């Protein structure tokens, strides 16, 4: 079982030729409304690969909630621990996607900000039994810390959106999964521009037992015991990178729950994330049948 503790949103996506700069307005094509949120995205990605997944989160009491619930239920995610918050809006993300897949994202957390330690306590039985507990940072740090403390299986933390984290929290993480910029924030250093720079920063981090750095078109980097292994990516025709990191994390959790070695799990995650960029939407990761 994989337990995912995190956010769930509805994404409003506007395809554009180029991303707008500060103060600039650009005209886009027809907008898309899709389910999203890092926690929900990662839950759906792992469930589509065949893992049993349960999601711990909060949704609003509004017209957007059914979109979120339908996507989770449709993927087979257990939503028994998804709390509906009265008088709160569901989370939303406003996304612009340029030709080629690059994007910018603004998130309004809504009900996600109401997820707290009491919700984690209510799910303590789930987190104590899960082989992998997967957490991100679109929820309160109190909820993140409570989930990490309560989990008894392998703890995977995706530190996104980027913020500095307490040393005691990082020390309880088994696998940290940052991208380049998130790694720079955690290390208190400039964003690494090469895999070698990323490897050096990841190896110098105190706390997590292992670090897997996602490098976009350069694949990923696995750092264990200060030794780095580079996992390259296969070339794909990307159209939307939204949620690619979430597809990666969901696939990584899927493989780790099946007791795969971390490098093997990362190879699987790179493959799944790459395919997800060839489709629109943050929950566009492939099923296991599509990968066979």
* Domain annotation covers residue 290: no
* Domain annotation covers residue 113: yes
**Secondary structure element (H or E) that encloses residue 102, with its range:** none
Whole-prediction pTM value? Answer: 0.93
* Domain annotation covers residue 292: no
- Going by C-beta distance under 8 Å and a sequence separation of 6 or more, which residues neighbour residue 168? none
In this predicted structure, what is the pLDDT of residue 57? 98
* Domain annotation covers residue 24: no
- Here the CATH number for the domain that contains residue 230 is 3.40.1190.20
In this predicted structure, what is the pLDDT of residue 291? 86
* Domain annotation covers residue 84: yes
In this predicted structure, what is the pLDDT of residue 35? 94
In this predicted structure, what is the pLDDT of residue 226? 85
Spell out a b/e string for 255-288, using b for 16 or more CB atoms within 10 Å of the CB, else e.
bbbeeeebeebbbbbbbbbbbbbeeebbbbbbee
Number of residues that make up the chain: 292
Q: Is 181 exposed, middle or buried (0-12, 13-18, 19+ CB in 10 A)?
A: middle
In this predicted structure, what is the pLDDT of residue 103? 87
The parent domain of residue 231 ranges over: 2-19+31-284
**CA 1/CA 43 separation, integer angstroms:** 11
**CA 83/CA 100 separation, integer angstroms:** 37
In this predicted structure, what is the pLDDT of residue 233? 85
**How many domains, in total, are found in the chain?**
1
Task: Encode the chain (292 residues) as per-residue pLDDT tens digits.
Answer: 999 999 999 999 999 999 999 999 999 999 999 999 999 999 999 999 999 999 999 999 999 999 999 999 999 999 999 999 998 999 999 999 999 888 898 989 999 999 999 999 999 999 999 999 999 999 999 999 999 999 999 999 999 999 999 999 999 999 999 999 999 999 999 999 999 999 999 999 989 999 999 998 889 999 998 899 999 988 888 887 778 999 999 999 999 999 999 999 999 999 999 999 889 888 889 999 998 7
* Domain annotation covers residue 75: yes
In this predicted structure, what is the pLDDT of residue 258? 97
* Domain annotation covers residue 25: no
Residue positions annotated with a catalytic role? 246
* Domain annotation covers residue 161: yes
**CA 93/CA 58 separation, integer angstroms:** 15
């Amino acid at each position: 079982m994989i337990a995912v503790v995190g956010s769930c949103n509805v994404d409003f996506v506007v395809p554009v030729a180029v991303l707008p700069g500060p103060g600039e307005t650009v005209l886009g094509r027809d907008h898309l409304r899709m389910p999203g949120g890092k926690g929900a995205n990662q839950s759906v990605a792992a469930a589509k690969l065949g893992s049993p997944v349960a999601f711990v989160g909060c949704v609003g009491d509004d017209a957007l909630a059914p979109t979120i619930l339908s996507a989770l239920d449709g993927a087979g995610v257990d939503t028994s621990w998804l709390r509906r918050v009265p008088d709160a809006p569901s989370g939303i993300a406003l996304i612009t996607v340029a030709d080629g897949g690059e994007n910018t994202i603004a998130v309004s957390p809504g009900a996600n900000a109401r997820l707290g330690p009491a919700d984690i306590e209510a799910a303590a039985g789930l987190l104590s039994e899960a082989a992998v507990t997967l957490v991100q940072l679109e929820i309160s740090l109190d909820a993140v810390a409570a989930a990490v403390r309560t989990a008894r299986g392998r703890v995977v933390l995706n530190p996104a959106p980027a913020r500095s984290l307490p040393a005691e929290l990082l020390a309880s993480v088994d696998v940290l999964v940052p991208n380049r910029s998130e790694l720079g924030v955690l290390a208190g250093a400039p964003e690494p521009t090469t895999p070698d720079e990323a490897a050096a920063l990841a190896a110098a981090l105190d706390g997590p037992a292992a670090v897997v750095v996602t490098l976009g078109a350069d694949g990923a980097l696995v750092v264990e015991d200060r030794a780095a292994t580079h996992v390259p990516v296969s070339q794909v025709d990307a159209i939307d990178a939204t949620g690619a990191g979430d597809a990666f994390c969901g696939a990584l959790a899927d493989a780790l729950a099946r007791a795969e070695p971390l490098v093997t799990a990362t190879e699987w995650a790179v493959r799944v994330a790459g395919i997800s960029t060839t489709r629109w939407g943050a929950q566009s990761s492939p099923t296991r049948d599509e990968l066979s």
